[in-house]
């Protein structure tokens, strides 16, 4: 069912509207000039994982684009919970989006209203489950993650996804599940919607997030590896090094922890560390029973 003709409700500027009526005008600044920021979150067992952190990142993404999301972290967290409850899902994907409205049309839009909408839907697996278990195949994208001086690379800004969609489409057209992108310097960066990790000699290596999103899943995986005593090295990774890694996985809210079996000519075999972190991540996202207050 297309996304604009589903049933349910969408939280739209503080009100619940019928799913099919949650529309914007074609002369919306966010549509023409990509003045929009969004989040991708998952609920497990009725609880949104790291909901506050996602709300904080949404506000920060807007600030980087020069606008103020007109709701507080607490209001956004409450609105997401209510949307999830109204949709009646236990396990779901949560998509808040904030954008500049339509009062002014042109590059400058200082006075446009900032809108916020929150939609929730069921999205069980980002990659085909059968592909996901044996590891997905990644193409190498032609586009590179831009220099932070060229684009607001720390914002989860809609405009930054233009090169991701182009790259993912090109990869899919060649039969790959996704693409790995280099950064503007030629270092390994990330996938089109997820961060990337490698394994070599029992250690985990992951690119320094200095020109792409330091994903909330990435941060969680690093913490989980730490709890297991697995060393994680954050550093610049050269393309020539790809052949030397034995395991590879990508991670993100939608992708969770997904093993990678190939990047272009390089092959990897999901093994102990990938499996451990996949399982630890799935355990970590489960809702925690409320802590009993100690008297």
In whole angstroms, the minimum distance from the beta carbon of 255 to ligand PMP comes to 8
User: How many angstroms separate the CA atoms of 223 and 225, rounded?
Assistant: 5
Q: Which residue has the tokens 């019928």?
A: 18
Residue 46: exposure state from Cβ atoms within 10 A (0-12, 13-18, ≥19):
middle
How big is the CA angle at 31 (ends 29 and 100), to the nearest 5 degrees? 35
Least Å distance between CB 110 and ligand PMP?
28
Smallest gap from residue 193 Cβ to ligand PMP (A): 4
Residue closer to ligand PMP, measured from CB, 194 or 204: 194
Closest CA to 168 of 189, 196, 186, 141: 141
Q: In terms of CB distance, is 35 or 102 closer to ligand PMP? A: 35
Which residue, 109 or 224, is less far from ligand PMP as judged by CB?
Answer: 224
Known active-site residue 288: no
290: Cβ–Cβ under 8 A, 6 or more apart, which residues? none
How many residues does the structure list for the chain?
A: 295
Which positions touch ligand PMP (CB under 6 A)? 40, 164, 190, 193-195, 212-213, 215-218, 252-253
Q: Is 194 within 8 Å of 214 (Cβ atoms)?
A: no
| Closest approach of ligand PMP to the CB of residue 190, in Å | 5
Strand pairing report for 203-207 and 232-235: parallel
Nearer to ligand PMP, 87 or 257 (CB): 257
Contact 67, 35 (CB under 8 A): yes
In the set 68, 156, 168, 200, the catalytic residue is 156
Q: Which residues are catalytic?
A: 156
């Amino acid at each position: 069912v297309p996304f604009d003709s589903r049933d349910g409700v969408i939280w739209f500027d503080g009100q619940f509207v019928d799913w099919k009526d949650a529309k914007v005008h074609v002369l919306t600044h966010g549509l023409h000039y990509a003045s929009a920021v969004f989040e991708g979150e998952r609920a497990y067992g009725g609880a949104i994982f790291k909901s506050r952190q996602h709300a904080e990142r949404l506000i920060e993404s807007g600030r980087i684009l020069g606008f103020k999301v007109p709701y507080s972290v607490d209001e956004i967290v409450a609105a997401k919970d209510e949307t999830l409850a109204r949709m009646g899902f236990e396990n779901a994907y949560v998509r808040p989006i904030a954008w500049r409205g339509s009062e002014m049309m042109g590059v400058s839009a200082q006075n446009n209203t900032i809108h916020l909408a929150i939609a929730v839907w069921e999205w069980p697996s980002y990659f085909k489950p059968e592909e996901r278990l044996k590891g997905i195949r990644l193409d190498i994208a032609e586009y590179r993650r831009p220099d932070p001086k060229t684009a607001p690379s720390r914002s989860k800004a809609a405009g930054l996804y233009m090169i991701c969609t182009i790259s993912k489409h090109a990869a899919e057209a060649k039969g790959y599940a996704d693409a790995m992108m280099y950064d503007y310097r030629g270092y390994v960066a990330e996938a089109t919607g997820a961060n990337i990790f490698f394994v070599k000699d029992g250690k985990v290596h992951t690119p320094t997030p200095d020109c792409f999103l330091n994903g909330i899943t990435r941060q969680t995986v690093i913490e989980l590896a730490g709890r297991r005593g697995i060393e994680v090295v954050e550093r610049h990774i050269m393309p020539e090094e790809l052949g030397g890694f034995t395991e590879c996985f990508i991670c993100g809210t939608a992708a969770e922890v997904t093993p990678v079996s190939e990047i272009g000519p390089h092959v990897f075999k999901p093994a102990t560390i990938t499996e451990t972190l996949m399982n630890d991540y799935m355990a970590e996202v489960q809702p925690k029973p409320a802590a009993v207050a100690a008297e």
